[in-house]
Structure 1
Amino acid sequence: MKHASAALLLAMAAISTARAQSAGQWMVNAGWLHLAPQSSSQPFTANALGQSSTLPGSGATLEDADTFALTARYYLTDHVALEALLGIPPKLRLNGAGSLGPVGELGTARAYSPAILAQYHFGEPTARLRPYIGAGVAYVWFRNVQLSEPVATGQLLYSPALGTQLEGPTSVSLSKTFAPVINAGLTYKIDKHWSVGASISYMWLSTNATLATRSGLGTVTTTTRVKINPIVSFLSIGYRF
């Protein structure tokens, strides 16, 4: 009986230790992040001389972008985790579409988008391969915005009626926003510390762009709403503490 009791106590201690190595653990991942915007925009609307007019057929799209990213994951239980995502802000390139297609690049901006997600991890903590799903929110803002020459000089506002009178030095602002995120991924454990991971996420992200042109006839405001909605792929190497 003494031997049986001792074996039972050891087994309980082993189970407790196994749980402690999952619930309460931290994992840090670093790797390559790819953004594939599923972008579109509303037509550009110019407000000048007390009137509003839409640039017929105008639009904009965004190119794919790559960057380096880090995640920090904390396991609340063996299956539920919280993950924070940070990275080097990628440079997004906005190109003209429709009637603005011949203009080419309209401008660039750095996108800052830290995110936090709640995840559910399937399988046992000791399994080598563990899939997961998650959902959360990102807070997005833009810095280092640079306009191409046709936009920075207001050339987009040329009209047959007024000629170049509405053109002039132009600045831009992009709205900040919260963006819902969903993701799914896999973690493959190499040993008790190291692992590799892959995930794919989708973010519902839009921003309002406002151009302010200081023309000889007064300030002209041009607005549009750009849908970015990126599919985000992340390949990484992880270390478990």
Structure 2
Amino acid sequence: MKKQVIAAAVLGMLAAGAAVAQTAAQGPWQVRARAVHLDSANHDSTGLGLSVNDKWIPEVDISYFFTPNIAAELILTYPQKHDLRAGGATIGTLRHLPPTLTAQYHFNPTGQIRPYVGAGINYTRFSSVHLPAGVSIDKNSFGGALQVGVDIPLPYKGLSLNIDVKKVWIGTDVKAAGQKIGSFDVDPVLIGVGLGYRF
């Protein structure tokens, strides 16, 4: 009986070691490229019926795994151009650059389906703002970000299919003649699909 217990313990340690080795062999870094659909909430308190257009955008992210379950992800794109509308009519254009940093928990890091959740912070910089004379917006926005997704390994070493959904809080104050007339919150949901590579 004692020998059986020792054998079971040794087998357990070997199995655990193999799992750790498998995870370690993947490496701590992961990069992804996604096509993302930006669906704006367009919450407006100015009374002007402000909105920006929805669109597809490219997205790249870089993740670092501190443990098999815990990672940090930096999400990047280039400045995205949007039409700004009032009551459905285009009144100007702007660009926004929204880097986002999230902390993630990966539930099944060595499985065939690897779901994760994340939460973090977004910083958005508005630039190339072209609005009617006397109308302006604040150029900087800080807000929260929530994330849920899944990585599905493909039959190529380190490669995976990624599906990702984020809710990001992005807003700005709107001013006329230097006086605040309300706020405009884009607050998009971003639905993305792409490929990841772990190394």
Which residue is equivalent to 1:189?
Answer: 153
Contact 1:209–1:223 (Cα < 8 Å) also in 2: yes
SS at match of 2:49: strand
Contact 2:127–2:139 (Cα < 8 Å) also in 1: no
Which residue is equivalent to 2:94?
Answer: 109
Which residue is equivalent to 1:225?
Answer: 183
4+ residue runs over 6 A deviation: none
CA distance in 2, matches of 1:16, 1:198: 25
Q: How far apart are residue 225 of structure 1 and its match? A: 0.8
Q: How far apart are residue 16 of structure 1 and its match? A: 4.4
Task: Give 1:176's match in structure 2, choosing from 140, 150, 172.
Answer: 140
Q: How far apart are residue 15 of structure 1 and its match? A: 4.5
Task: Give 1:80's match in structure 2, choosing from 70, 75, 97.
Answer: 70
Matched, 1:141 2:125: yes
Cα gap change, 1:221 to 1:73, in 2 (>3 Å): same
CA distance in 2, matches of 1:222, 1:15: 57
CA distance in 1, matches of 2:186, 2:74: 21
Q: Percent identity?
A: 30
Count of aligned pairs: 188
Contact 1:67–1:88 (Cα < 8 Å) also in 2: no
CA distance in 1, matches of 2:110, 2:43: 44
Give per-residue Cα distances to partners, 1:124-160, cap 9 Å, x unaligned.
Answer: x32121111110001111011123xxx24xxxxxxxx
Which residue is equivalent to 1:131?
Answer: 115
SS at match of 2:68: coil
Letter in 2 for 1:174: D
SS at match of 1:21: helix
The within-5 A match list for 1:1-241 is: 11=14, 14-21=18-25, 25-43=28-46, 57-97=47-87, 101=88, 104-123=89-108, 125-147=109-131, 151-152=132-133, 170=134, 172-190=136-154, 191-212=156-177, 221=179, 223-241=181-199
Give per-residue Cα distances to partners, 1:189-220, cap 9 Å, x unaligned.
Answer: 113211110111111221112244xxxxxxx7
CA distance in 2, matches of 1:211, 1:142: 17
Q: How far apart are residue 17 of structure 1 and its match? A: 2.0
Normalised by the length of structure 2, the TM-score is 0.84
Cα gap change, 1:189 to 1:41, in 2 (>3 Å): same
CA distance in 2, matches of 1:76, 1:240: 14
Contact 2:23–2:110 (Cα < 8 Å) also in 1: no
Q: Which of these two proteins has the greater Rg computed from alpha carbons?
A: 1
RMSD: 2.4
CA distance in 1, matches of 2:20, 2:86: 59
Structure 2 unaligned blocks of 5 or more: 1-6
Give per-residue Cα distances to partners, 1:145-197, cap 9 Å, x unaligned.
Answer: 123xxx24xxxxxxxxxxxxxxxxx4634241211000101111113211110
